[in-house]
Structure 1
Amino acid sequence: MKRQKRDRLERARARGYQAGVVGKQSESCPYQCLDARGQWLGGWREAMEGRSSGLFMK
């Protein structure tokens, strides 16, 4: 059975989350498309909230 590719927006959100976990700045978003950029920033914000609440080591 073939694996389906994940949705591009879901992938953008996951990459933004990973960028936030490692502490990258929001300006480092690689996406130009507004939808993908919004998803990336949403994931980044979630990770930054987790960092500020002590979920991840800084």
Structure 2
Amino acid sequence: MKRQKRDKLSRAHSKGYQAGISGRSKDNCPFQTSEARSEWLGGWREAIGDRNTGLYQ
């Protein structure tokens, strides 16, 4: 069986989360389409929330 790639929106959310955890600015979003950008920013916001609650240092 072939491995399926994760869909692009899921990957955008994951990349946004990683950016937020590492402390990068939300202005660094690499996506241009509104759907992918929205997912990236959602992941970024989630990561910032996790950092503020102390899950990551």
TM value normalised by structure 1:
0.96
* Identity value in percent: 56
- Report what 1:5 is aligned to: 5
Map Cα deviations across residues 3-53 of structure 1 (whole Å, 9 max, x no partner): 001000000000000000100000000001000000000000000000011
| CA RMSD between the two structures | 0.4
CA distance in 2, matches of 1:54, 1:17: 15
Gaps of 5+ in 1: none
Gaps of 5+ in 2: none
**Over 2 Å off, 4+ runs:** none
TM value normalised by structure 2:
0.98
Are 1:36 and 2:31 an aligned pair? no
